Amino acid sequence: EPEVTQTPSHQVTQMGQEVILRCVPISNHLYFYWYRQILGQKVEFLVSFYNNEISEKSEIFDDQFSVERPDGSNFTLKIRSTKLEDSAMYFCASSEGASLGGDEQFFGPGTRLTVL
Partner 1 sequence: SQKIEQNSEALNIQEGKTATLTCNYTNYSPAYLQWYRQDPGRGPVFLLLIRENEKEKRKERLKVTFDTTLKQSLFHITASQPADSATYLCAPLMEYGNKLVFGAGTILRVKS
Per CB under 8 A, residues contacting partner 1 are 4, 31, 33, 35, 41-45, 48, 56, 58, 89, 91, 93, 95, 97, 100-110
**Side by side, which strands form the sheet with 19-24?**
5-7, 19-24, 75-79, 65-68
Pick 14 or 28: Cβ nearer partner 1 = 28
What is the Cα–Cα distance from 48 to 29, expressed in whole angstroms?
A: 13
Give the shortest CB-16-to-partner 1 separation in angstroms.
27
Pick 31 or 75: Cβ nearer partner 1 = 31
Contact between 57 and 45 under an 8 Å Cβ cutoff? The reply is: no
Q: How many CB atoms lie within 10 A of CB 53?
A: 8
Pick 82 or 111: Cβ nearer partner 1 = 111
Give the shortest CB-79-to-partner 1 separation in angstroms.
19
Q: How many CB atoms lie within 10 A of CB 96?
A: 16
Pick 17 or 93: Cβ nearer partner 1 = 93
